[in-house]
Structure 1
């Protein structure tokens, strides 16, 4: 069953009907499906990459930014990473059926909190076709059905990836074809219909820019977890090891600037403005980073452009960096609380008390001490991959792996007890 000849409502209805069957599949069956999916992705690598080359060429011809083109591109390394991630998920413990906790009441009743699938998980995403395979794999492992709606920019690639995934699914008779489906309509109306598929969709995760997030917040009638912006900061404290500070700052900005866990603002303690800051800015500039700084930054490193209020608010997703000198960690925390997006924030310091206060007061899904924000990632957290990075607090926060695709049911065991009052 494919979404190509179906409306959004038909796709969602088919997923909802299959959900009860998928939810009770044993771990061994789900793992067989995942391994078959990984094998199929490898077999279809050539047509997938050909479709991707067509999408990338069309995007470049349309004037799409280099940042989005990078997100769109599937090269050999990323293709290998996709099949590897699916296999990694197959090897992870199955959260479904796990007893989170349990206790016995004085009357002898045993109460257990048991993980079970959410049901139907929908994801609306932009540009990144690897999401098609990653989300499908996470949903299969957790006994959920997946409804995937990519953007028109990646449609050819998404179709090719989905064809491979469904070929793998078809090899295991127990898995319904409707367990993983692609909405083949990139229109805004299709996205709105998916946002409003109440009664069919149990969780919607939007992965995209501010316009998509705003649309979901304004229109969705189904439960959502927002995968929001990544206006991430790194604060270099006066007690920082300077070598670590340099390494973290350069990695957080330049290792892959187009992703949401890249550093967008560097905050530096005033004590380091004279002798450490110019050197690291020299290194960043040599790597192609455009520097925007406040007055103190520009005084110590005159090549910096003037930073405006907008720069503190901006997720560049590019080799552009805002830099501000602050008086202390408290000032850095205030800046992050005002401008941060609750995604990933970092401090570099050898002062454990300062580090602890930073981790307590900074409002973010992930807070890093003496390491790069680039580790805010489901794969790096040991989840295999992620369905998204939640910038809200319910029901999940930070990179969302297998556990975030389950809910908890209270299962109560008795031996004839009845309630008197």
Structure 2
């Protein structure tokens, strides 16, 4: 017998973006679209257990959401033109042109990434509305408090209403101005799938990584000459190639130096390397690489080594030096310090890591990195304290299991 909650959850993942996209195009109001879709899914939870799952859950959800949207528009006595738009739900008029983007979800992401909003606001809003991430997940991605992120999203929605920013389907000419924020959205969606931050989810969420890769491939067909699109796709492919080796049968995270490299997906690695080589050729021709291209090149070095001992750490450090000039974020500096530890030793790296404390005190990889460096220096008591802090902050069950084991191995 089918589990009704599972059916609704599956329908949510498969249909949410499509329903919201359809309603947004029809009514021109993302708030109405999102709330009507939420009401439709709530109704499904209430009615499907008694009535059974309909033969076409997607069509049922779309029809119900359309009616909820119409009801809300009528209740709020919107302008006359809004009433006329609402009546379109009952007509068989042909759909509006989809513009340059055929895919519903990708079109809605480009639509939400409106340049009138600040970059962080449009990325956060799009992650919430379309990306399927919760406010706590988005807050962790931005390293801010959940309440602050909730306020940021609320302010972005308020600005859209106050400024009457239209949610128009972007044309081909609009895409270059919006692509950087779209790539940021997909990068953060991929990261949440690569290592889920919530304690109640699977450690690795293949649904998110696969969707992020699919949408990035579509963008590459739209903007084939954009180096950062190619760089992000390469980065995702080279990271996804290691997915099956990243969690043990016991449910524990497996770090890069302990992974079975024979389990890596060679086809994804080959495709990622090809994209990196293309971008390196462009760099030689005088086209400076962006952040995603450099991150992809770093991953290409890692996936080129047959063994951890064969890793070209000097090349990785040089790439991080280049990346820091483009993005002097504390997270990039933390990752650079890991390469420094392999070349100059843990003591030098620890000094660099400690300088980041005031900016990364709530970021569990900071404490996990400190714990490992202190362990390598034989400072077991301090290492244990750092592991404890990392375990306290980590939400991923597989990562918590790994950190706990490493802490318990200390003498």
TM-score by length of 1: 0.27
Higher relative strand content:
1
Give the TM-score taking structure 2 as reference length. 0.27
The structure with higher relative contact order (CA 8 Å, sep 6+) is: 1
Structure showing the higher helix proportion among its residues: 2
